[in-house]
Structure 1
Amino acid sequence: MDLQLKGKTVMVAAASKGMGYAIALQCAREGANVSMASRDHQAITAAAAKIAAETGARVQGYQFDAANGASIEQWVSATVSDFGNVSGLVVNAGGPPSGDFIDFTDADWQAAFELTLMSAVRLIRAALPSMLAAGSGSVLTITSSSVKEPIDILLLSNVMRSGVTALVKSLSQAYAAQNIRFNNLLPGLIDTDRLTTLNQKRAEALAISTNEVRQQQEAQLPMGRYGQPQEFANAAVFLLSNAASYITGTTLAVDGGKMKTVW
């Protein structure tokens, strides 16, 4: 299937590793120009160079802070200057910390709000004029299965990512006539550094090894294993592409069948 991404410009946030990196790599493999960003300048520069060398695509790494509005605007402005109009945007950021409700302060809630919800608002708001000028575009937000089935130790994520999901649904209605699509992609247990960190905390709380945590989790998955970042990226690139031209306002789970909810 021709995903029709060749020559298109796709922005991928939080792309120095994990799911963001896998999405950037797959977009480049499809011939897209890739603007990828991360808070770590050295890491994102190395990641971009690696993808460019492997694929031959135009790839540029930029430093940005997802919780800082000015930094977001600078990244979008630099991308448009370097590549032209943006066709695709992947909204992604590291998740808020885990913990118990009683332990979170107002500062914790505000930080989660800035990192998770406002980063989505600001990224979309900054990139949207370019898409409107081009007459089309696709926005994909990476949220979490917690928006459908809350995760007990991820309260901050549960709340803020649910807000992102509502934002995307609203915008999908508002901009459908302008041929700009908005969708959510929900990772289940994808084998990334983020999952490793969460598993370490679970292991400490349960006084067991991280390997035992993984075995317990995989035993509960219908497919019997963690997902790989590349598998997640395949779904992401499809939704970004023109092959999904009649799909907007949807929330797709890539979770190996973990969730039991119907909707």
Structure 2
Amino acid sequence: MDLGLKGRTALVLGAGGGLGAAVAKSIAAEQANVVIADIDAAALQRTAADLGAGQDRVMSLVWDIADLAATEIHVAAIEARFGAVDILVNNTGGPPPTPAAGQSPDMWTRHFQSMVMSVIALTDRVLPGMRRKGWGRIITSTSSGVVSPIPNLAISNALRLSLVGWSKSLAREVAKDGITANIIFPGRISTARIRFLDEQKAKRENRPVEDIQAESCRSIPAGRYGDPQEYGDTVAFLASTRASYINGSTIRVDGGYVSSI
């Protein structure tokens, strides 16, 4: 299936990690220009190498997304090379595991800046270019905690849920301009982040991490953790011309893990 992305320009945040790297790979396979951004230069380099052929269509940016002052600098560099951003994949790192009570205001403020305000500011910066073209895709990756709060991930549950409300509101505003805004979230996808969370749970409960993983797999109707590329391919479809009537939606890639409707 031709997704109609050839020659489009996509900016993928968090592209040094498992999900972001998979998204970049899926979109690059459609012959789009792909800008990969991450705070981790070494991880970014690995993703760039993994993208293989078509390196002239790949641009790497070491970018601390929480630094709002850097937004204009990086977007201007993208525009100078490829033109306006057509596809924005908002994918930020997660906060440490914490309960809801007892967290300092500084902790909440710091993660709000890096997980929420950064996404809003960047989206506002690229929207005018999408509007001029009459086409654009804004895809924001969150967490299953937005529909079923995850124990001991209170900051993530709260802040990512705010992005759902923002994206849904934005979707109504930009649809007339040929732009869609959607939320996508993973269930238990086999990434370093999930391994870290499993290890933290194992430590808290004084159990082998293998037991935690086996228990998780039993709770997933598909019976396994997802492959990052399954997530990446779903994002690529949402970014495509084929998905032009999917707007304001929340898409789950979870193997049936989340039980709520």
Which TM-score band applies after superposition, normalised by the shorter structure? over 0.9
1:85 positional shift? 1.6
Kept in 2, the 8 Å contact 1:191–1:228? The answer is yes
User: Could you tell me how far 1:57 is from its partner in structure 2?
Assistant: 5.9
Alignment correspondent of 1:249:
248
- Please list, as runs of the form range in 1=range in 2, the aligned pairs for 1:82-231 lying within 5 A after superposition: 82-231=81-230
2:22 maps to: 22
SS at match of 1:196: helix
Counterpart amino acid of residue 164 in structure 1: L
Q: Using the alignment, how far apart are the partners of 2:46 and 2:252 within structure 1? A: 30
Q: 1:128 to 1:104 in 2, by over 3 A?
A: same
- Is 75-84 or 154-163 further displaced after alignment? 75-84
C-alpha distance in 2, partners of 1:57/1:250?
Answer: 33
**TM-fit CA distance, 1:50:** 3.0
Tell me, in whole angstroms, the C-alpha distance in 2 between the residues paired with 1:105 and 1:224. 38
Q: Is the 8 A contact 1:184 1:252 kept in 2?
A: yes
Distance in 2 of aligned mates of 1:155 and 1:135 = 38
Q: Cα RMSD between the aligned structures? A: 1.2
Please tell me the residue identity of whatever aligns with 1:74.
Answer: I
Structure 1 residue aligned with 2:235: 236
Larger displacement relative to structure 2 (18-27 or 109-118): 109-118
Change (3 A) 1:55 1:229: farther
What is the Cα deviation at residue 249 of structure 1? Answer: 0.3
Partner letter of residue 107 of structure 1?
D
Question: What residue identity is the alignment partner of 2:26?
Answer: Q
1:198-246 superposed Cα distances (whole Å, 9 cap, x missing partner): 1111000110111111001001110100001000111110001111011
In the superposition, the TM-score normalised over structure 2's length comes to 0.97
Gap change, CA 1:249 and 1:80, over 3 Å in 2: same
Contact 1:28-1:57 within 8 A present in 2 as well: no
TM-score (norm 1): 0.96
**Do the aligned partners of residues 69 and 55 (structure 1) sit closer, same or farther apart at CA in structure 2, a change above 3 Å counting?**
same
Structure 1 position 4 matched with structure 2 position 9:
no
> Contact (CA 8 Å) 1:145, 1:187: kept in 2 or not?
yes
Q: Alpha-carbon deviation of 1:56?
A: 5.4
Most deviating of 53-62 and 148-157: 53-62
Question: Per the alignment, in what secondary structure is the counterpart of residue 69 of structure 2?
Answer: helix
Residue 31 (structure 1) aligns with: 31
Deviations 1:165-201 (A, max 9, x none): 0010000000110111100001100110111111111
